[in-house]
Amino acid sequence: MLSRTAASLYWIARYMERAETVARLLEVGGRNALIPNLSGGFRNEWESILQASGTQAGFAAKYGDPVSRNIESYLFFDLDNPSSVASCITGARENGRIVRTALTSAVWDALNTGYQEMLAMRRTERSKLPLSELIDWTMRQSMILRGAIEDTQLRVDGYDFLNIGYHLERADSTARLVDVKYFVLLPQVDYVGSGLDNYQWRTILRAMSAHRAFSWAYGGEITPAKIADFLILNRKAPRSLITATEGAASHLDRLARGYGRSTEAQTKARSLVAELAEATVEDIFDEGLHEFLTRFIDEISALGGVIHEVYLSGDTR
């Protein structure tokens, strides 16, 4: 397969997963803003959302103060923001158009229809589009595409590149979503375990479509340790860091088997999985949740770099 084709497939998946993450962040922000700000001096919840999506600087330059309506526009519709839902969906569709021949018509249809609907929404008056609908719409587009890929794509290397993109982006996004928590609570240790704290943790679970799954898996009180365990170390949670990392590693392994050649990418992915498999929540809290997540995000991005180098750049000999 052409390296450029592989790169486009990888980016289709990354963009769609990123669009979904932004929608999930918007959900966290929207819900957090519904509870009274009991803690004067706290950071603005919305600001933490911008921070987690890595768009704070861009937003500040364009709008200044974080007002919820502006943040919604910036994160959803703004094409100046490379991480907005609109930008991601446009990017995914554009990459799809480039590698149209590597996609089934069902997959292309999902990409193209999502894009056309997005264009229609951009022309619609904003007041007719409540945030909750925008969030649901984005999740649905992402799932339709994912379903089309799973149901129709041939299980060849292209399928692996799509999945590697998905899993890497998902690992990155879960880490960022959990990290939001850190920004919200930064100055206050007193609130850990308080009512407010639990409400916010619960919102994170909800944004991961996992609050009911969590109750089934753990039961009892919601504690930060349980949630961290669920979202980072639990293989049953579909969006946990370990599930996502293992997913990327297993598709890299498939690739290595198919090509009859293992590379640095496989080695690196496996060592990341090994670290997560051995870690405990205590280890993570000892290191500091934020410190752990920051390090993990860096590792994932380094893995992305290696994958680019050995498969996507076309410079391999």
Partner 1 sequence: MDGGKPEYFNEMFDGGMVRAPYAGLDAWTRQMPPELRNLKQSEAEKLFRRIGITFAVYGEGGDPDRLIPFDMFPRVFSSAEWRKLEAGIKQRARALNAFLMDVYGRGEIVKAGRIPAHLVYRNDAFEKSVVGFKPPRGVYSHIVGIDIVRTGPEEFFVLEDNCRTPSGVSYMLENREIMMRLFPGLFRENRISPVENYPALLKRTLASVAPHKCDGDPCVVILTPGHFNSAYYEHSFLADMMGVELVEGQDLFVEGDYVWMRTTQGPRRVDVIYRRIDDAFIDPLCFRPDSMLGVPGLMNVYRSGGVTIASAPGAGVADDKAIYTFVPEMIRFYLGETPILNNVPTWQCARADECAYVLEHLGELVVKEVHGSGGYGMLVGPKSTKEQIAAFAEKIREDPSNYIAQPTLALSTCPSFVEEGVAPRHVDLRPYCLVGERIELVPGGLTRVALREGSLVVNSSQGGGVKDTWVMAE
The residues binding partner 1 (CB under 8 A) are: 1-6, 94, 97-98, 100-101, 105, 108-109, 112, 157, 161, 259, 261, 311-317
The CB-of-317 to partner 1 minimum distance in angstroms stands at: 6
Provide φ and ψ at 204, rounded to 5°.
Answer: -60, -45
The CB-of-274 to partner 1 minimum distance in angstroms stands at: 25
The CB-of-265 to partner 1 minimum distance in angstroms stands at: 11
Q: What angle do CA 81, 65, 203 make, to 5 degrees?
A: 75
Distance CA 214, CA 122 (A): 36
Which residue, 33 or 98, is less far from partner 1 as judged by CB?
Answer: 98
Which residue, 100 or 126, is less far from partner 1 as judged by CB?
Answer: 100
Which residue, 71 or 103, is less far from partner 1 as judged by CB?
Answer: 103
The CB-of-88 to partner 1 minimum distance in angstroms stands at: 18
Which residue, 296 or 311, is less far from partner 1 as judged by CB?
Answer: 311
Which residue, 48 or 95, is less far from partner 1 as judged by CB?
Answer: 95
Which residue, 98 or 213, is less far from partner 1 as judged by CB?
Answer: 98
- In order of 41, 76, 204, 276, 284, the CA distances from 295 in angstroms are 28, 28, 20, 12, 11
Q: Three-state DSSP class for 299?
A: helix
Q: Which residues contact 216 (CB under 8 A, 6 or more apart)?
A: none
Q: What is the token pair recorded at 135?
A: 């969030």
Distance CA 310, CA 196 (A): 46
The CB-of-249 to partner 1 minimum distance in angstroms stands at: 17
Cβ burial of 11 (10 Å; 0-12, 13-18, 19+) is: buried
The CB-of-111 to partner 1 minimum distance in angstroms stands at: 10
Distance CA 100, CA 198 (A): 46
Tell the residue number behind the tokens 């907005």, with chain if given.
84
307 with 6: CB under 8 angstroms?
no
Which residue, 100 or 290, is less far from partner 1 as judged by CB?
Answer: 100
- In order of 96, 144, 172, 284, the CA distances from 296 in angstroms are 29, 29, 8, 11
The CB-of-315 to partner 1 minimum distance in angstroms stands at: 7
